[in-house]
Amino acid sequence: MQQDIAVIGIGLSRWGELWEQSLRDIFVESALHAIKDSGVDHIDSMYVGSMSPGLFNNQEHLAALLADYLGVGSIPSTRVESACASGGLAMKMACLDIMSGTSEIVLAGGVEKMTDVDTDGATLALASAADYAYEVYQGVTFPGLYAMIARMHMDKYGTTEQQLAEVAVKNHLHGSMNSMAQFPQKINVDAVLNSVVIADPLHILDCSPITDGAAAVILCSAEKARQLKLHPQIRISGLGHATDTMALHSREDITALSAVEKAGITALKMSGKKIDDIDLFEVHDCFTIAEICILEALGLFPKGKGGNAAASGKTRFDGPMPVNTSGGLKAKGHPVGATGIAQIVEIVTQLREQAGERQVKNARVGLTQNMGGSGGSCLVHILEAV
């Protein structure tokens, strides 16, 4: 990157069904944790990723509201939205703000309070990330869209329901070692295969949950970070952002996530790294099939060969290419706007060697991949301990 950016603070709110807390409460909780962790005495600006506080909470104008409740007064505060990639997008825009020379210390956060509406309301709010006129209006929502991708992957490459289930089993194993996870219980393949079918071939345990939660990080220029004398310094060395067609029917191959591929290539090139140089990954496993397609799009596995990734143990926290050590969206939870920032929080935790039981050995370089809709947008960040 033209100018390295450092991550100097991280924070999470509690995640789960938070009946006693509001949208603003949980955001402020995560932001205060991040500010305290960083030790800074002010921030120059802030960015908030949130997918649909309008449909979930009747509350737009979110960035100004959250700056007000965080008590940071009159600073510039910007909300960005790219469906479930809103958090990753907040991260990118915070980086651009620092790179442009406009701000020195910036908060990038994400939040979604999803339980203020009932399950039907949440399903429809989430569906607004698909093409409303051509997909949702016809009756399909996200489990249906990802089921089509899964069915195609199974037909083309021989991927099995057992292999999908192994992704959930692995991510719940990781979640069982993360005290912040919404669903920290271990599960096995039979539990997934015997759980209710949501959209054939996807069972409910192939799907990430509905979650209330927030995450925040504090960023600054590398020069500023050097003054703070933090060890280790965590730098963002690569950043990729790409889009794809909104609707699945416009794509030549619905199992190929071209926005993921492009964002990954851009981020790797910027950081001067190859995919094999990455020690651990947090990727967007909104459904088990998504993790498989993403690992193929990033180039970790050849096209069609991702099905066996989890089953082989390669992507376990103690395997050669750990994926979703946090528990992923599946077990940690998926408050959509917060997810992209929470991925950064996990990688920083690992690079600081503070991940406890799930610590990846010799973790020096991590990659986050955050995706909107059925792959219509994607953000990739590469972080390094220096």
Judged by the rule CB under 8 A, the positions of this chain that interact with its own copies are 2, 22, 24, 51-55, 57-65, 67-69, 73-83, 89, 92-93, 95-97, 99-102, 124-125, 127-133, 136, 241-247, 250, 258-259, 262, 372-373, 376-377
What is the phi/psi pair of residue 217, to 5°? -135, 155
Instruction: Point out which residues pair with 10 in neighbouring strands.
Output: 217
Taking the least distance from each CB to its own copies, the nearer of 3 and 354 is: 3
Q: CB of 134: closest distance to its own copies in angstroms? A: 10
Q: Would you call 84 a catalytic residue per the annotation?
A: yes
User: How distant, in Å, are the alpha carbons of 93, 213, 223, 281, 380 from that of 353?
Assistant: 27, 24, 23, 15, 22
8 A C-beta contact, residue 278 and residue 299: no
Taking the least distance from each CB to its own copies, the nearer of 326 and 377 is: 377
Q: CB of 65: closest distance to its own copies in angstroms? A: 4
What is the phi/psi pair of residue 331, to 5°? -105, -35
DSSP 128: T
**DSSP H or E segment with residue 153:** helix 142-157
Catalytic one among 84, 207, 220, 293? 84
Q: CB of 174: closest distance to its own copies in angstroms? A: 28
Whose structure tokens read 């960005």? 80
Taking the least distance from each CB to its own copies, the nearer of 73 and 302 is: 73
Taking the least distance from each CB to its own copies, the nearer of 45 and 159 is: 45
Q: Would you call 220 a catalytic residue per the annotation?
A: no
- DSSP code string of 310-376: TTTTTTSTTSSS-B-TT-HHHHH---HHHHHHHHHHHHHHHHTT--GGGPPTT--EEEEEEEETTTT
Q: CB of 310: closest distance to its own copies in angstroms? A: 28
**Any idea what the Cα angle at residue 26 is, between residues 22 and 42, rounded to 5°?**
130
Taking the least distance from each CB to its own copies, the nearer of 360 and 382 is: 382
Q: CB of 255: closest distance to its own copies in angstroms? A: 17
The strand pair at 105-112 and 45-49 is best described as parallel
User: How distant, in Å, are the alpha carbons of 13, 90, 194 from that of 160?
Assistant: 36, 36, 15
Catalytic one among 174, 334, 378, 381? 334
- Point out the residues that are catalytic: 84, 334
